[in-house]
Structure 1
């Protein structure tokens, strides 16, 4: 259904240079330009369309002129004005649509608690991709790269769309500027915001294929190899979290619309769809990744519950109960003098001890290797 947009305030939000960039990137040719307007033409099926971009938003008739342009572009492209309007608004943005297809969500609404979980898991998904855009790791623990965290803060969530339940993620990206070939030695690297969304697309596609392979072979190897393409336990957890608990009926789709202002390689995925039978494999992959990956620079804090050192030994084993993945766990560490005496002091005074090291899972327990910065907490 074609709907004309008549809201002057809505039309006024369109920015002239973004609209001009959209036209340039989608097959329109600039015919002329002046101080107040830029004229573009496009031939479609032997018909010529002319679109005039008003360049000054302070003009009294700016909304009227931009409305005329919107009507012309929609007619030339054979689309609705609402679709063209949405594309104008996101000319300088990559857009990710997360579609959760579930019989219980056909009306586009969902329970408030489910909404909170979807919002959190969408953020976790983007943060996992942002971390992988800085470095490939099987697991990202508490400390995340500052660049990744700050990029996620810049990402916006648009209005939800009809079609089961659709989350619209908008990531602004700067436009590409052409540099003459003799003016550069290497292909310039895209901005970090684009790399994050590109990493998200490729890692989701890789995760989907890894789950297929694991289902056929019964081996973890495909997930292990996928780490070098951006897959992490954090990504697995986010995808499984978006899925929720009803694995039999829900479907999950990711669609990527890339900013026309910054062209992207055609090999980059634009659509990834997860079927129900992948999710148990993805959950298990996350568990295995976390079990086998040491946690570097892990901050352990808790009570000393056991001391074990023989008279003829220079080191002793200290057991501390501290928080690991949000749960109290017994963690062992081997200490020599004078660190062991600090642990004895904390035990005798019933005070917590704090230290840093690499957390390693050993069987059903944990140990902290290379412990350092050992200190008794103040009362």
Structure 2
């Protein structure tokens, strides 16, 4: 069914940059210029020449009317609906990350709680990829680097789309002035594009690890791919997504304003992989030191050998919801605080860097050591 959109506000939201990026990446060429007012673009298809006028300023009184005419021409030339064309024009300056829930029932919508989980997971995928683009690690805990926080602040949720149930995240990217994309190296790309490229790499590497791990049950197939962006955060986000459906499709399309020499990326992840991904996330998290971790517990053992400059304090505490023993290595200045708390049989609280070595937890560089009184 053809829909003829008349809302001027809809057309006013499409910028001249949106239009020029879209037209140039879809085979249109500048034909004429009306200085200070508009550019005229042309495209020849099957011996028929199409022409559109693109006003240069949104402040013009007839701007929305002119954009409506432009969309009507594109509708005829592309044989697509006005809704689809308007959506494509608005996304011409962003990389688009899509997550599609493929269940048949998803055409009627998804439960609100699942929708919230999906949005959180997409956010975590991009957050983790941004961190990995700076420094590949097993897990990202605590505060993220300023460059990552700045990138995340620019992300926007896009409108849902037809085709089961599709969530979209829009990642703005600076335009490119190079017409030959093969000449641009990864080092020349802006950080925003490095993030979406890293996300593609991470999804591909995780998918390969999953197909192998189903038969090998070997965590090394995940840990050997940290340099490719596989980490605890990626695995946990994908685990949460795959809990929503028997199959989830992720795709990434590139901004028309900065074309890529890579095709649209698509990959499927299956519901049966959720448990594997969650276990991989836990293993990755245990590998990574946790800075500024707060520990509360009761001292059960004190130990200091004659030839050692530091004591070993064993504390019973909760870690990730489980009762565990942790070793705190205490320097001379701190050792007396632990001895007093042990003699009083009162709990202590402190913070430091939590590390798991084999099956044993350790807390290094303890600070803010305090007794916890019952009152």
TM-score normalised by the chain length of structure 2: 0.88
CA distance in 2, matches of 1:263, 1:234: 28
Tell me the residue number matched to 2:161: 161
Query: Does 60-69 or 295-304 show the bigger shift?
Result: 295-304
**SS of aligned partner of 1:19:** helix
Q: Residue 206 of structure 2 corresponds to which residue in structure 1?
A: 207
Q: Distance in 1 between matches of 2:76 and 2:341?
A: 76
Deviation at 1:64, TM superposition (A): 1.3
Q: Which one of the candidate residues 235, 244, 251 is aligned to 2:247?
A: 251
Match of 1:356, SS state, is strand
Change (3 A) 1:185 1:19: closer
Aligned to 2:103: 102
For 1:15 and 1:326, how far apart are their aligned partners in 2?
51
1:356 equivalent to 2:364? Answer no
Residue 67 of structure 1: aligned partner: 68
> Quick one: structure 1 residues 48 and 223, their matched pair in 2 at CA, closer, same or farther if it must change by over 3 Å?
same
Structure 1 residue 103: Cα displacement: 3.8
1:182-213 CA-partner distances (Å, limit 9, x unpaired): xx997752221221122112211111111112
Does the C-alpha gap of structure 1 residues 193 and 74 become closer, same or farther in structure 2, counting only changes over 3 Å? Answer: same
Aligned to 1:264: 260
For 2:272 and 2:32, how far apart are their aligned partners in 1?
Answer: 56
Deviates more, 1:130-139 or 1:171-180: 171-180
Offset at residue 254 of structure 1 (A): 0.8
1:375 to 357, 369, 375: 369
Assess, with a 3 A threshold, how the Cα gap between structure 1 residues 222 and 78 changes in structure 2: closer, same or farther: same
| Partner SS state of residue 188, structure 2 | coil
Alignment check: 8 A CA contact 1:102 1:250 kept: yes
* 1:128 alignment counterpart: 128
Unaligned runs of at least 5 residues, structure 2 = none
Q: Which residue of 2 aligns with 1:223?
A: 222
Task: Find out whether 1:301 has 2:295 as its counterpart.
Answer: yes
For the structure 1 residues 360 and 218, does the alpha-carbon distance in structure 2 shift closer, same or farther, using more than 3 Å as the test?
Answer: closer
C-alpha change, 1:351 and 1:218, in structure 2 (3 Å) is closer
- Going from structure 1 to structure 2, the CA distance change for 1:111 and 1:124 (only over 3 Å counts) comes to same
8 Å CA contact retained: 1:358, 1:371: no
Structure 1: tracts of 5 or more residues without a match: none
1:193 alignment counterpart: 192
1:318 is paired with a residue of what secondary structure? strand
Residue by residue over 1:206-231, the C-alpha shift from the partner in whole angstroms, topping out at 9 and shown as x without a partner, is: 11111112224343332122211101
Q: Which moved more, 1:268-277 or 1:230-239?
A: 268-277
Note the C-alpha offset of 1:327: 5.9
Q: 1:187 to 1:173 in 2, by over 3 A?
A: closer
Q: Displacement, 1:112?
A: 2.4
Which region of structure 1 is more displaced relative to structure 2, 32-41 or 1-10?
1-10
Which secondary structure does the structure 2 equivalent of 1:300 belong to? strand
Q: Does 1:170 align with 2:170?
A: yes
**Shift in alpha-carbon separation, 1:327–1:44, aligned structure 2, 3 A:** farther
Return the offset for 1:308: 1.4
Cα gap change, 1:52/1:13 in structure 2, threshold over 3 Å: closer, same or farther? Answer: same
Question: 2:279 — aligned with what?
Answer: 284
- Structure 2 distance, partners of 1:278, 1:241, is 10
Shift of residue 322, structure 1, vs aligned partner:
5.0
Deviations 1:218-273 (A, max 9, x none): 433321222111011110110010122x6xx621001212101112132x661111
Deviation at 1:309, TM superposition (A): 2.4
